[in-house]
Structure formats: structure tokens, C-alpha cells
Chains A and B, each alone.
Chain A
Amino acid sequence: MAALPRDWFDSRQGRVLLENLTAYLFIFPAGAIIFIFGLFPVAFAFFVSLYRWRRFPDEYLGLENYYKALGNFGYILFFFTALAVLVYAAILFYQLVKRVRGGMWLYILPGIVNAAAAALFVDWFFKLLPYVLDVPRRMPRGQTRDRALFVDEFFNSFKFEGVPDAGYRLLFGLVAGVVLSLACLWLVRSRDRVEVLLRITVTVLLVIGGAWLMRLTLNEMDETIQLAEDAGESLPIWTQIIFIGLGAILLFVAYAVWTRAVRQDEDRRFVFWGLAALLLMAGGYLLIVYFPQSITAIDNDLEQGFWVTILYVIGTVPVQLGLGLGLAYLLFHTQRGKTMFRIIYFLPYITPFAATAVVFSTMFSNRNNSPANYMLKFFGIDSQKWLLEPTPVNELIFKRDLPQLLEGPGLALVVIMIWSIWTYIGYDTVIFMAGLGNIPPEYYEAARIDGASTWSLFRHITLPLLSPTTFFLSLIAIIGTFQAFTQMWIMRRPAAYDAVDTVGVYLFETVSTKAEYGYGSAMAFVLFATILMITFFQNRILSRRVFYG
């Protein structure tokens, strides 16, 4: 330590540097793990989804996995995603221009070079990755445990065709980026220059990413259309893109008109509502005609999986939230035994699925005297096969065939729904209780002085002030139920596979038994896109109704 210039570390600059270094040291282990297993996998999954991939990377397929999953709609989805990225980048750029005003051009060049360097890094990395992943396979047979050979092969990966070139380009980009950024930061003396430069870089990166995605999509689409034409068929992807886009825009406009209508006075409101309804119908009509047409080539198992998943979400989330809110409300206004009730309600949530599954599958077993059938007998109903029963409940109740939209979930899925509602009510109750605790009691007192009834207290004070909690819980619940698979995976019985296999289960099966990693990743991305879209709309539409104190 004596050799270190202690005085320097005691100076202001030294202390700042030391603090920075210590902080990075503190963050490094956790940060590395979160990056490798939490962030990087998203890019990796997308990369895998572009390949035929079984254990090792195989042939490059482009978007074929998505076509296999969704049919034409795979391309349409990518087209709109790329478009959305580009539009979002344009909005960001517009905001920046408005904010910076003068001297924007000083940022633009370094921004472009920085973004290019980042893109070059991604390019280099994903050119290198397949060779690195292939190292074990390139080893001579029987030599897999030879350390020196393994290390040699590892470093050989950097020398494969295309990798060094990409590496040099990256190096050049990095140097140019650093030099230009420093020059820019030196020239501009505004206080937020670092932030502006970062934002510009991100914006340009989005443009690059969007453009790349768009080029990929268009190329792939052209190829597919060409192939279909060679086979004497026609693929109306473009028509579908145009009309689905138009339908979505009409729906959006209808929504905008609708929200405006609410603010109008009585006479004009009527006209606006009529207009909104008209637009809604037109948009809906376009979507109803063209959307199903674009997914005719969808993977049937995946379609079934989505159907089951949606039924599961609709069947669990509202019930779970409603019951949780009810219990929390009652519990909050009781004087005694609050803690005890809370502990007990929370029990199902902390108990492992594997254990409660045993109880529920025995309770709902197909034997004549299982508890569930015993209950039915008490009400004079025939005993059911429960978990082994794929027939939709409404067909069981009305004893006749129904159209798919009306037939409801299979009985086996209903059992799983009951089980997961039972599991999650306690969690919702506890969080609702915390939310209720945050409502200032003065509001209730004031309202009571005005003579409000218990119901109007609940309706006009509790519900609005609790809306952030409700919003948060519904978001969590929808995200969670959309990817549900542990529950189904434990409870599925061969007789009722069709009725309970969600997208998650189908995906897991594809990966674990068929080892089709590329296709599995494509499905994971489709699911991810669905969840993102739902969260986005939920945010847009519901968050306006959320009232923050």
C-alpha cells in the first residue's frame, strides 16, 4: 500500500474514481449473472429461432420457424414489429430535436457511429456464436475431455470465415465511436450532453435494428411468395398486411373518437358515438375477414394451445382478483384475528405446486367416491371423470354440441383453474390489504359525515383509490397466467391433453421431447409478443382509469 500515492486517492478526483471502481466491483457478480441468464437470453432466443436447431446449430432458416408456427401471420407480425420499431425511433428523434434545438448536428455523427459500433458488435458476436457453440462437435472423437485441444478449438472459433472481418470492422467502429464521442463532448458544453448523446445512439440503434428486421421480413416474404407462385398458387400476404393494418388503424381511430365523445355535450355526443360505432364496425369487419385468413396455415397444436391459454386467463384472473378483493375488504375492516386469517389465506400460495397437485388430483379423481364426485352425488348429479375429461363444460351441462366459442373450457382445465385460483387468492388478498392500508381514513370520515352508505363508500372511495393495486395485480396475473405451464404439466393426463395443453406446455414438449430448439424459441417469441401486446393495451386503456390519489 505504501507504494500507492495515498494523497492522490484522498483528493476529490481519486475518491470519485475509487468510489466508481468499488461500486462496479460490488455490482459485477450479480450483474454478470443477471445479464447472462436474464437479458442475453432474449437476443439468444431470437437468434436460435432463426435456425433449425437440435442440440447444435444447424441450417439457417430465416423466418421459416415463424411461418411454421403462424402461417402468413408470422410475416405480418414481423412486418408490423419492424414498422413499430421504426415509428418509435422517429418519435424519439422528433422529441430529441424539439428538446435540443441548436447544435443537433454535432451529436448526430457520433451518435450514428456509436450505434453502428454497437450494431457491429452484435453482428460480430452472432457470427462468432455458432462456431463457439460448435466447439465440442469439432473435437476429434474420444477427445472431448482434452483440455488443450478444447482451448485451441475455442480460439479457432475466432478465425472462421467472416468472423475476423467482422471483428476488424467492430474494432474500427469502436475506435471511431470513442474518438467522435469525446470530440462531441468536448465541443458541446451543455449540461445534459452525455444523456443526449446516449439517446441519439439508442435512437439510431433502433433505426438500424428496425431497418434490418424490415429487410429480413421483406426478403423472406418475397421468397415465400415466389415459391408459392412457382407452385401455381398465390399468397396474398400484402393484401392481408394492408387490410389488417387498416383494420387496426380504424379500431384505434374509433377508440380515439369514443374517448372524445365522452367529453362532448349531450347533442354532439350522440353523433360522435355513432361515428365511433361505425369506425369500430368497419375496422372489426376488416380484422374479422382478413385475420383468420392470414392464419389458416397456423400450427394446429399451437392454435389449440392459444385457445386453452386464453380460456385459462379468462377463467382465473377475474375470479381470483374479485375474490381476493372481497376477502381483503372484509378482513381489513375486522378488528380481531387479522394476522391469523392472513397467515392462513397465504398458505396455499407458499405450498409447492407439486404437493398441492397431489391433493387436488386425488380430490378430483374419477373414482365414484372421490370428494368431488361425492359432492356431485349430494346434489344428485352423475359423477364425472374430472381430470380425465376433455369435453368442454358447456357441452356437459347442456348435453349437446355447441360452436367452439360457446363450449367453454374442458372439465380437466376447470379443475386446474380451481386449483390455481385457490393457490393465488391469498397473494391477491395480502396485496389488496396493503393497498387498502394506503387509503387515507380521512376520506371515509368525510364521506360518512355526508351520509354515504357502506356501498357508496366502497364504490366511490375504496375502488377508485385501490385502482393502482388492482391494475398492478391484473398485470401480474395476466402475465403469469399467459405463460402458465407448471400447473398443466403436473396435472395433465393423456386422456385430456388437448383440453389442458397451453402454449407453454406445447413449447416445453417441443423442446424436451422433440429437441426442436429453433421452433420452440420461435413459439416463445410469439408468446412474448402476445404478452407484450396485451400489457401494452392494458397500460394504454386501463391506466387512464387508474387514479393515483
Chain B
Amino acid sequence: MAKVRKPFPWRTVFSYLILIVGVIVAVLPFMWMVSSSLMTQAEVSLGRIVPDEPQPQNYTEAWNRANFGRFMWNSTRITVITIVGLLLFCIPAAYAFARMRFVGRNVLFAIMLTTLMIPDIVTLIPNFLTIIWLGRFSATICGEACAWYNNWPALTVPFMASAFSIFLLRQFFAQIPDELWDAARIDGAGHLRFMVQIVLPLSRAPVMTVITFAFIGSWNSLLWPLLVTQSDDWRPVAAGLTKFVNSDAPGDFHLQMAASVIMIVPILIMYFFTQKQFTEGIATSGLKG
């Protein structure tokens, strides 16, 4: 840690003052969100700052009117499927790139990393067409349950492998000392076994980072789900909230706020449990990426 000249007290006070202003700016919208979610509609319209009497029933009303039970369940399903697939596919790939020697390793890795530079907007249309076609194909081959459009595969499969996650995991796997691998090999373990029994238990931090990123990503996603779904059967909570705000309860600000609070609670819980790995993951990957 850099220890600059011990600052005069007024300087410390001044910098804390600015930092606290920053905190207020960052937190104020959240505070206001919570406080107006507890007001009556009239109180929000009058521009009150705190409710006279908290109205916790707003939450149940918002939950029911926005049909949040459905959307929360959808988002949970989507998130879980995405994360399981992500771990299942990305960990072996990252392991191979980090610890195995094969023809074309560097070329393949470089090609994979170039996908990070392609803007989402370019891939949006072709991916939509691909999804439509793949969906028709699989629905014809194995029935309605395998449809892609308006079903879980369209929402999860494209996100089950990301160059970013593979990169993050690879950086960590590559740091694991070779002695461990030598020892494991002497004991007769192959790559699969070494990966599952030695590497994975050592890599809890990067795996948590990847999970958190995927969780936040799929909880936030809005446009892609809107494009590839038609009904509420599989629409995630972000789409549900947007629909509630725009068409179901346009004037009921207190209910909108309550619904927003409901939506961000799972993310906040996830974040507070993993914030250390998460910020570190962002910092290191950001710098090296």
C-alpha cells in the first residue's frame, strides 16, 4: 500500500467529506426507493420524503398485481440453468487452455478472446435467426418441449459459455503449481480427476466470481428475453417489472417502487455474500483483459 505523506487533518476531513457525498449520491436513490415503496400513492405524488405511516402491504399488492411469483420463478429457473451449464462447459475449457498441451491451443484461445470485442448489437439479429431455426429444428425432431423460441433454451444456451468466464478461470488455473499435477499423476490421476478433486477445491474464489457475474447478468437481462419470448411463461423478472411499470400500473409509483425493491433483493443478497471475490475478480480481470 502506498503511504503518501501523512496528511494534515483538514485534508483527511475534506477527502472523507467528498467520499461521503459520493456515498449519499450512490445510496440516495435506493433510500428513496425503499421509503416511497412504503408510502401511499398520495404521499408519493405530494413529494414526501418519509411516509407518515409505513404501508408494508404495498409489497404484497405489488407482488400480486405484477404477477411476480411467476417472474421470480422464471428468473430463478433461467439463472440456475445458465449457471449449471456455464460451470459444466467453462471449467473444462478453461482447464484445457490452462493446463493441457494440444495443437492449436494459442490460436484457439486468441480466436476465443476476439469474441469479447464484438459488440452485442452485431450478434443480436443473426443469433435471433439462429435461435428461431434451431428451435424449429429441435421442436420437429423431439417435440414441443424442445422448442427454443419462447422456451428456456433460447434464454440460457447462448449464455452457457462465455469467453470472459473461461479467461477468468484460466488465469487462475494456470497459477496452480505444477508440483500438484506431478504428484497427482504419480498417484495415477488423469486430467479429469485432477480437475475435479484438486483444481476445483482450490478455485473457489474465481468460480464464485463467475457465478456472481452470471447471476447478475441473467437477472439483469431484458432485451434478449423480450426478443426471444412471446408470453410470460419464461419471461424473467426484469421484463415483468418493465411491463408492470409501463402498462399495468403506470401511475402507482409506490407499487412500482415496491416491485423494484423486490427485484433487487436477491441481487443484493448475492452481492453482499460474494462482494470480496466479485470486486477482486472485476479488478484483476479488468486490468488484464
User: Does B287 sit at the interface, judged by CB under 8 A?
Assistant: yes
User: Does B33 sit at the interface, judged by CB under 8 A?
Assistant: yes
Q: Are B96 and A27 in contact (CB under 8 A)?
A: yes
Contacts of A507 in B (CB 8 A): 121, 124
User: Does B97 sit at the interface, judged by CB under 8 A?
Assistant: yes
Kindly report which residue of chain A lies nearest to residue B29, judged by CB atoms.
A359
Q: How many A-B residue pairs have CB under 8 A?
A: 307
Contacts of B92 in A (CB 8 A): 25-27, 29-30
Kindly report which residue of chain A lies nearest to residue B283, judged by CB atoms.
A434
User: Does B90 sit at the interface, judged by CB under 8 A?
Assistant: yes
Chain A 190-203 near chain B by CB (<8 Å), digits 1 or 0: 00000000100000
Report, as a range, how many residues of chain B touch the other chain: 35 or more
Contacts of B204 in A (CB 8 A): none
Q: Which of B96, B257, B275 is within 8 Å of A343, CB to CB?
A: B275
How far, in whole Å, are A42 and B260 apart by their CA atoms in the complex? Answer: 36
Q: Which of B47, B216, B237 is within 8 Å of A369, CB to CB?
A: B47
Tell me whether A41 and B127 are in contact in the complex, defined as CB-CB below 8 angstroms, given that A150-B141, A422-B29 are known contacts: yes
Chain B 96-124 near chain A by CB (<8 Å), digits 1 or 0: 11001111010110011011011111111
Q: Are A521 and B125 in contact (CB under 8 A)?
A: yes
Chain A 441-469 near chain B by CB (<8 Å), digits 1 or 0: 10010001000001001000000000011
Q: Are B253 and A441 in contact (CB under 8 A)?
A: no
Q: Are A23 and B105 in contact (CB under 8 A)?
A: yes
Q: Which of A27, A362, A511 is within 8 Å of B124, CB to CB?
A: A511
Q: Are A344 and B129 in contact (CB under 8 A)?
A: no
User: Does B70 sit at the interface, judged by CB under 8 A?
Assistant: no
Mark out the residues of chain B between 1 and 37 whose CB falls within 8 Å of any chain A CB in the assembled complex. Answer: 1-5, 7, 12, 15-16, 18-19, 22-23, 25-27, 29-30, 32-33, 36
User: Does A258 sit at the interface, judged by CB under 8 A?
Assistant: no
Mark out the residues of chain A between 356 and 395 whose CB falls within 8 Å of any chain B CB in the assembled complex. Answer: 356-360, 362-363, 367, 369-371, 374
How far, in whole Å, are A48 and B130 apart by their CA atoms in the complex? Answer: 12
Q: Are B115 and A39 in contact (CB under 8 A)?
A: yes
Tell me whether A441 and B3 are in contact in the complex, defined as CB-CB below 8 angstroms, given that A30-B161, A150-B140, A472-B287 are known contacts: yes
Contacts of A44 in B (CB 8 A): 126, 129-130
Q: Are B22 and A26 in contact (CB under 8 A)?
A: no
Q: Which of B2, B16, B32, B279 is within 8 Å of A346, CB to CB?
A: B279
Contacts of B26 in A (CB 8 A): 344-345, 347-348, 422, 425-426
A200 to chain B, nearest CB (A): 15
User: Does B202 sit at the interface, judged by CB under 8 A?
Assistant: no
Contacts of A4 in B (CB 8 A): none
How far, in whole Å, are A147 and B139 apart by their CA atoms in the complex? Answer: 9
Q: Are B119 and A434 in contact (CB under 8 A)?
A: no
Kindly report which residue of chain A lies nearest to residue B254, judged by CB atoms.
A362
Q: Are A352 and B119 in contact (CB under 8 A)?
A: no
Provide 26 A-B residue pairs closer than 8 Å at the C-beta atoms, listed in order of the A residue.
A20-B102, A29-B93, A33-B161, A34-B112, A44-B129, A133-B133, A150-B140, A326-B18, A346-B279, A347-B268, A352-B220, A355-B33, A355-B261, A355-B264, A358-B245, A358-B256, A358-B257, A362-B36, A369-B46, A454-B4, A486-B222, A508-B124, A511-B124, A512-B227, A527-B121, A531-B119
Q: A23-B102, A358-B256 are in contact. List 5 more A-B contacts (CB 8 A).
A: A40-B130, A44-B126, A350-B216, A448-B4, A531-B119
Residues of A that sit less than 8 Å from B by CB = 16, 19-20, 22-27, 29-31, 33-34, 36-42, 44-45, 48, 132-133, 135-136, 144-147, 150-151, 154, 198, 326-327, 330-334, 341-348, 350-360, 362-363, 367, 369-371, 374, 422, 425-427, 430-431, 433-439, 441, 444, 448, 454, 457, 468-469, 472-473, 476, 479, 482-483, 485-486, 489-490, 504, 507-508, 511-512, 517, 520-521, 524-525, 527-528, 531, 535
